[in-house]
Structure 1
Amino acid sequence: MSRSKQNDRETLFLEAIAAPEINLKQIRKLCSRGVVETCGIRAVCWRLLLYCLPTKRSLWQQELTRQRSEYNQFVQEIIVEPGLKRFNTGNAESSFEDHPLNPNPKSEWNSYFKDNELLLQIDKDVRRLCPDISFFQNATKYPCEDLTSTESKVETLRKRVERTALNSQSLTRKRLGISNVSCYYYLISSRKQASHEYQVLMEAGQEAHWEVVERILFIYSKLNPGTSYVQGMNEIIGPLYYTLASDPNMDWREHAEADTFFCFTNLMAEIRDNFIKSLDTSASGIEGSMNKALCLLRETDPQVWLLLEKQGIKPQFFLFRWLTLLLSQEFNLPDVIHIWDVLFSDERRFTLLTAVCCAMIVLLREQLLINDFSHNMKLLQNYPMHIGIPTIIDKANKINKSMK
């Protein structure tokens, strides 16, 4: 793209965001080609496309203040050591004496111990988040204020993990303890794996970015018991938090934790069916999503579709991960963010994601048609980096248009 055209697009973005009444249709159209990096407004665009900001610009600060206050309340109520929560004295049920051995199901300690297994899995996952960049192991400039106060009743989750004694064998025996979906399909071939776990920062009062993500995921799981936490959610929240925590607007960057929570919650409301095992075989579940992608491939390129059928290359081996994790494991973070610009701009999302997955397969047709099962499996599970994101998006749009 020429410099003049990029400047023109930058101007269109800035004017669209500055309008008193945001034209969401225009924002979608602009983002469908990716947000211009030099604008510094990707975080704003994502908030709008994920419905975390109203279209009336004058209401932005009011809505953000409300959300951030609400999130702070969640931290105060959920991330607290047992025995330190302030009870409502008018509640007779909370008047019993509580202690670690209390058998009462309403005991804070009872809930605390049940949550430890969940927290252990979250901690394990976020300590390896986005290993292709150093961002998540670095210290945030905005650690949780409640953790730095000497009078705080909010506990540090990593310290809770450190003192939690769990039987590691129980995690394996129970499908990692907390998974509600057959996540092993993408775990056996996870593309991005850190060589080591991120370490805790030693300086007092410091928090690494992965610790912030850990807190967001734990709060989300507690507030959404039907979905809870499933491995892979860490890969969804990673690009969201990175984008908001890198916002050029210092005031908004300071509140990246709270804002990420609401963006993540809204995004999960749209894709949560892929993470719920009881919905696996339904039309809205992950099997339904994979079938849609394969049907589109059969219509677009029947020869490639037939080859995958004959070679026995099941969609669970690659499409499961592509669809469930919104391609966050297939590309480097800058490319993932570019793809998400486009996916979030799709009003009928995630219809475009299906087309993008189909396009990714079709763009490999020459190699797929001449190679055997083993080679093709490796190719699909380790998508070639040399195929540019613009090429994939362009092919996906052409596939979409041909189906209309």
Structure 2
Amino acid sequence: MNEELIPADHALDPQSFYTHILGKNFSTIRQAALSASLGKLRNRFISWRLFLGVLNETDSAEGWIQASRELRNEYHIMQESYKKVHVQDLDPLIFNPLSQSVENPWNSFYQDNELKQVIKNDIDRTFQERALFQKEETKEMMIRVLFTWSKNNPEISYRQGMNELLAVFFIVAVAEKFEKDDGIPEHAARILQELNDPTQTEADIYWMFTRLMALSVKELFLPVVVAKKKPINNLLSFEKSGYHNELVNTDKTNEASASVILKRSHRIHHRFLQALDKQLYMYIESQKIEPQIYLQRWVRCLLSREFNLSDTLVLWDSIFACAHIGEENRIEFFTGKLDFHKELVMLDFLCIAMIIFVRSFCIFYLVLQCDATGIMRRLLKFPPVEDVGILISMANSYKERILSGKGVTVPKIIHDMVEDDPLRASKPEPKASFIPLPSPKSIKLTDKIDTIIAILQEQSTL
């Protein structure tokens, strides 16, 4: 059964635009995003463009209009440039379907068609249950956006999952298209009509997607494992160390040869989780669970595969709201510098909140079953959350603890590296509370239950 194109509670609220956006109450807007209530303002489309830097908060409303016009014009020029081939300017000996020349435009033509087909295959599977995405107009628009972005970023090109990110932008844009002034002053209606012009949706979501990718998201789509070339000096020799990535129980956060998604996953697991919940970290480590197995899915698609659309919008509110807050990590020796202008740091802390949210289940399953399969199933299929605002609140708390250095345990690998660091002396390391687990095979069921109760009691004091 098809859903209606756009739920009524996602529609634009012009009065809220006049009060909050034109009134430049950006602190209120950002606070609403970080408290899971931005949806009530019903101005996500403009708020997200401001958060992502497509529009500049310091500009006037007329400045936003001018910037939007320039960006839209630039997009249309780019799109047209990929359509046209000036045949009259080409050498007929080269511009020939049978020519083997690398300069032959036909080669590019075939490659472009192949790329479009790959994109189309994924677009056809995107939100199939929603009437909006069954429309050919929608599909063609998304294909054009992703194709244009891919042509401008050939080092990454298109990767599966990008379609899902773009689809969320498209839903928000269509939901908040301007239709009537609803009692706001004429000048405000004119500005809103220009900013949320439904005829410019394609160009607007292209720039939102581009800004999102620029926040260290596009690199996340590179392969997890970067293959290493074996030296050719002796093909028959056997290197004991091997030429594969040692992923288990090894922190790859700062390893130059590791992929971006691997570094990000390991930063979340080996740095943040270990600092915030040493006990849970040790339990997961004891099962040799590779963090990138579940975190690459969470991080690449910004949690959109783990939650329904409504919850995804709320989570993205908080992720984007932190994109340009200008904070810097004040304990650089601990995590490496966190740059809120270059990556979506809030995403890391939401991942931590999700892991800790299923903490009891992970430890309970480990004690009773003594293997990692149940834990992996839970992480790969995250349970429904009645109110994702809880996760956002947890993530905000963890972010503040990491930035302040209070209530965290410095991971051993960092502890050893910075033993003489002057910053460390001023911040005594808190004592980690840890209940060691006996071997599950060596204890009786009643003892297992007692162990679980002790763990849950200990958790309630965290």
Alignment partner of 1:357 is 2:351: yes
Distance in structure 1 (CA, Å) of the matches to 2:101 and 2:300: 38
Distance in structure 2 (CA, Å) of the matches to 1:39 and 1:30: 8
Amino acid at match of 2:117: L
1:12-23 → structure 2 map (5 Å cutoff): 14-19=18-23, 22=24
Q: Decide whether the 8 Å contact of 2:16 with 2:42 is kept in 1.
A: no
Partner of 1:292: 267
Task: State the TM-score, normalized to the length of structure 2.
Answer: 0.64
Deviations 1:140-177 (A, max 9, x none): xxxxxxxxxxxxxxxxxxxxxxxxxxxxxxxxxxxxxx
Structure with the greater alpha carbon radius of gyration: 2
Deviations 1:279-319 (A, max 9, x none): 96648811111111112111211221112112222112211
Deviations 1:115-147 (A, max 9, x none): 33322221111111134533211x3xxxxxxxx
1:305-324 → structure 2 map (5 Å cutoff): 305-324=281-300
Amino acid at match of 1:230: R
Aligned pair partner of 1:330 in 306, 309, 317: 306
Cα 1:27–1:386 shift into 2, 3 Å: closer
Amino acid at match of 2:214: A
Alignment partner of 1:217 is 2:146: yes
Cα 1:383–1:133 shift into 2, 3 Å: farther
Deviations 1:82-123 (A, max 9, x none): xxx335x7x6x6676623223232222110112333222211
Distance in structure 1 (CA, Å) of the matches to 2:152 and 2:97: 23
Distance in structure 2 (CA, Å) of the matches to 1:97 and 1:311: 59
Q: Decide whether the 8 Å contact of 2:145 with 2:202 is kept in 1.
A: yes
Distance in structure 1 (CA, Å) of the matches to 2:32 and 2:40: 14
Partner of 2:394: 395
SS in 1 for 2:31: helix
User: Mind listing any 5+ residue stretches in structure 2 that lack a counterpart?
Assistant: 1-13, 180-192, 227-254, 325-339, 366-370, 405-462
Q: Decide whether the 8 Å contact of 1:246 with 1:253 is kept in 2.
A: no
SS in 1 for 2:103: coil
Identity of aligned residues (%): 29
Partner of 2:86: 86
Cα 1:12–1:208 shift into 2, 3 Å: closer
Amino acid at match of 2:267: K
Distance in structure 1 (CA, Å) of the matches to 2:319 and 2:259: 18
User: How far 1:52 sits from its partner (Å)?
Assistant: 1.3
Distance in structure 1 (CA, Å) of the matches to 2:272 and 2:17: 33
Amino acid at match of 1:316: Q
SS in 2 for 1:318: helix
1:2-21 → structure 2 map (5 Å cutoff): 14-19=18-23
Distance in structure 2 (CA, Å) of the matches to 1:111 and 1:11: 49
Partner of 2:95: 98
Distance in structure 2 (CA, Å) of the matches to 1:28 and 1:288: 29
Distance in structure 2 (CA, Å) of the matches to 1:262 and 1:286: 23
SS in 1 for 2:281: helix
User: How far 1:24 sits from its partner (Å)?
Assistant: 4.9
Aligned pair partner of 1:230 in 140, 159, 164: 159
Cα 1:220–1:94 shift into 2, 3 Å: farther
Distance in structure 2 (CA, Å) of the matches to 1:134 and 1:220: 25
Distance in structure 1 (CA, Å) of the matches to 2:128 and 2:268: 29
1:237-252 → structure 2 map (5 Å cutoff): 237-250=166-179, 251=193, 252=197
Task: Please identify, of 48-57 and 242-251, the stretch whose mean Cα deviation from structure 2 is larger.
Answer: 242-251
Aligned pair partner of 1:115 in 112, 115, 121: 112
Q: Decide whether the 8 Å contact of 1:273 with 1:279 is kept in 2.
A: no
Amino acid at match of 1:366: S
User: How far 1:394 sits from its partner (Å)?
Assistant: 0.9
Amino acid at match of 2:130: I
Partner of 1:193: none
Partner of 2:407: none
Task: State the TM-score, normalized to the length of structure 1.
Answer: 0.72
Partner of 2:205: 260
